[in-house]
């Protein structure tokens, strides 16, 4: 294992090196790893660096460790083989009402937007526009500066493995989903798309518009289960593995490898929507599914709508090489692009460290607000609501203790009280266990306490 300064944080390099050896079979189940002290001495790094890397690998399911015993490689199902033997892909019912923003899921705390740093970056690029940036040509996939900056960010924080040429800039994740779906499904005899149940219904609507036949697969505390998927193989598999929407579950490593195995066997493209996984409150974020893919199956999708603000209208896709040109052609043919000065300002914002600092600051703030939301619901609504653990993200799912309640009716009553919660039934294609989805990003402890009292009174 060779560590180099240009390859990123030492902990991330060690994490990646061990993970790669496990996935390649060079470290087998039950193999004993060196103690943190011994490996730190061998590599010439601080023991705390090894401890952090081991902790991250344990959280992701690659390692087992018990108090007083050695750290060993966990027992895992066989990973997908290298290469791709399957042929490559050929090129809802939500509530319509306008709802208030208080407790509305999916919105970051806009009051905490880093106005000063963003204004400086935007001002510099607006005042010093280069002629090459003001024309039409050569930038359908996005500004190279932003593509490189985004890849550097997701490589360090999410374990993504790619080159800048695989990054495409889009106005929204929905845009990327539409482009990929139309390309992949256009020539499919049976355009099957596996989706999460419950899941993000707007994405389902885009898939259906693109001609997909949706097959919902159930999600539990380990994420989507593809073990007993019915019917013919999929052409698309849509997942939110690092923070399932809306339940908040993290997909287990066993389930992740099963998704990759199915994608490899069928030649499917996996749409990995990593919409807000930067925000984790009880552990370090689990690495992206894309980082353990060895078959070129993953289209990794991210957005700045949750990190910064939805009004920026900037998202990105890290694509398998075979999809880059078709997706870029799709975007340019429809005139879909993010303004160049905005892209360059965002590249500077990332490169200068402002994004990293903002995420660190907001992670602390959101952790406090999530803990306050869970505590307030336990304090005031324990007999009527069962909140989730609230370990990450900007929203919290809470199930009704009485499954006969109509969550859509209750949500409308709460909207009239100024609370923009969503009914959990809106996220199901089939029968649902009713409940509410609450946004926590702007909910101060005092505001959440008042909201919990309103919810209790309504219920």
319 within some domain = yes
| CA dihedral sign, ordered 425, 431, 433, 434 | positive
Say if residue 303 is in the same domain as residue 338.
yes
Say if residue 287 is in the same domain as residue 320.
yes
Higher pLDDT, 389 or 152: 152
Say if residue 333 is in the same domain as residue 413.
no
205 within some domain = yes
80 within some domain = no
Q: Say whether 330 sits in a helix, a strand or coil.
A: helix
Instruction: Pick the last residue of a domain from 328, 356, 384.
Output: 356
Domain count, the chain: 3
Say if residue 203 is in the same domain as residue 62.
no
Q: Are 414 and 104 in contact (CB under 8 A)?
A: no
Instruction: Pick the last residue of a domain from 336, 356, 376.
Output: 356
How confident is the model over 107-161, as pLDDT tens digits?
Answer: 999 999 999 999 999 999 888 766 556 655 557 899 999 999 999 999 999 999 9
In which band, very low, low, confident or very high, does the pLDDT at 93 lie, cut at 50, 70 and 90?
very low
How confident is the model over 165-216, as pLDDT tens digits?
Answer: 999 999 999 999 999 999 999 888 899 999 999 999 899 999 999 999 999 9
**pLDDT score of 62:** 83
Instruction: Pick the last residue of a domain from 308, 333, 356.
Output: 356
Percent helix / strand / coil, the chain, rounded to 5: 45, 15, 45
Given a cut of 60, whether residue 88 has pLDDT beyond it is no
Q: 40-49, 292-301, 313-322, 396-405 — which is least confidently predicted?
A: 40-49
81 within some domain = no
CATH of the domain at 160: 3.40.640.10
User: What does the DSSP assignment read for 338-401?
Assistant: --HHHHHHHHHHHHTTHHHHHHHHHHHHHHHHHHHHHHHHHHHHTTTEEE----BSSEEEEEES
Domain of 361, in residue numbers? 357-458
Say if residue 195 is in the same domain as residue 271.
yes
Say if residue 335 is in the same domain as residue 204.
yes
Q: 13-17, 25-29, 330-334 — which is least confidently predicted?
A: 25-29
Say if residue 45 is in the same domain as residue 178.
no
In which band, very low, low, confident or very high, does the pLDDT at 6 lie, cut at 50, 70 and 90?
low
417 within some domain = yes
Q: Are 290 and 318 in contact (CB under 8 A)?
A: yes
Return d(Cα 26, Cα 10) in angstroms, integer. Answer: 21
Q: Which residues have CB under 8 Å from 133's CB, separation 6+?
A: 139, 143, 340, 341, 344
297 within some domain = yes
Say if residue 394 is in the same domain as residue 334.
no
**pLDDT score of 68:** 65
Say if residue 212 is in the same domain as residue 274.
yes
Angle formed by the axes of helices 201-209 and 173-185, to 10°? 40
Higher pLDDT, 435 or 391: 435
How confident is the model over 410-420, as pLDDT tens digits?
Answer: 999 999 999 99
231 within some domain = yes
Say if residue 208 is in the same domain as residue 139.
yes
CATH of the domain at 373: 3.90.1150.10
Say if residue 202 is in the same domain as residue 343.
yes
In which band, very low, low, confident or very high, does the pLDDT at 67 lie, cut at 50, 70 and 90?
low
Q: What average pLDDT does the chain have?
A: 88
382 within some domain = yes
Q: 10-14, 112-116, 332-336 — which is least confidently predicted?
A: 10-14
As a whole-number percent, the residues of the chain with pLDDT over 90 amount to 64
Say if residue 176 is in the same domain as residue 282.
yes
**pLDDT score of 375:** 96
């Amino acid at each position: 294992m060779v560590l180099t300064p240009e390859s990123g944080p030492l902990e991330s390099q060690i994490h990646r090196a061990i993970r790669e050896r496990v996935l390649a079979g060079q470290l087998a189940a039950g193999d004993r790893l060196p103690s943190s002290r011994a490996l730190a001495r061998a590599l010439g790094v601080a023991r705390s660096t090894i401890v952090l890397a081991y902790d991250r690998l344990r959280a992701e399911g690659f390692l087992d460790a018990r108090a007083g015993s050695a750290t060993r490689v966990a027992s895992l199902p066989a990973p997908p083989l290298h290469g791709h033997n399957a042929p490559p892909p050929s090129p809802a019912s939500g509530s319509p009402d306008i709802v208030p923003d208080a407790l509305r899921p999916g919105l970051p705390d806009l009051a905490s937007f880093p106005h000063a740093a963003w204004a400086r970056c935007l001002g510099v690029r607006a005042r010093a526009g280069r002629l090459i940036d003001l024309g039409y040509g050569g930038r359908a996939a996005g500004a190279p500066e932003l593509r490189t900056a985004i890849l550097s960010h997701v490589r360090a924080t999410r374990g993504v493995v790619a080159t800048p040429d695989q990054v495409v800039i889009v106005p929204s994740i929905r845009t990327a989903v539409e482009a990929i779906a139309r390309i992949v499904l256009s020539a499919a005899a049976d355009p099957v798309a596996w989706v999460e149940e419950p899941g993000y219904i707007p994405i389902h609507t885009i898939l259906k518009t693109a001609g997909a036949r949706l097959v919902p697969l159930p999600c539990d505390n380990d994420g989507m289960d593809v073990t007993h998927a019915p019917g013919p193989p999929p052409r698309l598999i849509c997942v939110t593995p690092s923070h399932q929407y809306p339940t908040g579950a993290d997909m287990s490593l066993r389930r992740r490898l099963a998704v990759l195995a199915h994608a490899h066997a069928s030649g499917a493209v996996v749409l990995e929507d990593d919409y807000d996984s930067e925000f984790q409150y009880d552990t370090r974020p689990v690495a992206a599914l894309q980082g353990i893919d060895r078959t070129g199956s993953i289209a990794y999708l991210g957005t700045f709508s949750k990190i910064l603000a939805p009004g920026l209208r900037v998202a990105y896709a890290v694509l398998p090489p075979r999809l880059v040109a078709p997706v870029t052609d799709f975007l340019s043919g429809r005139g879909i692009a993010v303004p160049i000065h905005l892209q360059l300002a965002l590249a500077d914002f990332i490169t200068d460290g402002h994004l990293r600092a903002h995420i660190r600051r907001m992670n602390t703030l959101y952790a406090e607000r999530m803990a306050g939301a869970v505590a307030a619901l336990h304090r005031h609504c324990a007999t009527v609501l069962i909140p989730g653990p609230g370990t990450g993200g900007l929203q919290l799912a809470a199930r009704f203790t009485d499954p006969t309640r109509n969550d859509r009716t209750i949500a409308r009553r709460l909207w009239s009280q100024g609370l923009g919660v969503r009914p959990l039934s809106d996220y199901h294609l089939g029968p649902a266990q009713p409940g509410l989805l609450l946004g926590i990003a702007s909910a101060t402890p005092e505001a959440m306490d008042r909201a919990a009292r309103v919810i209790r009174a309504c219920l």
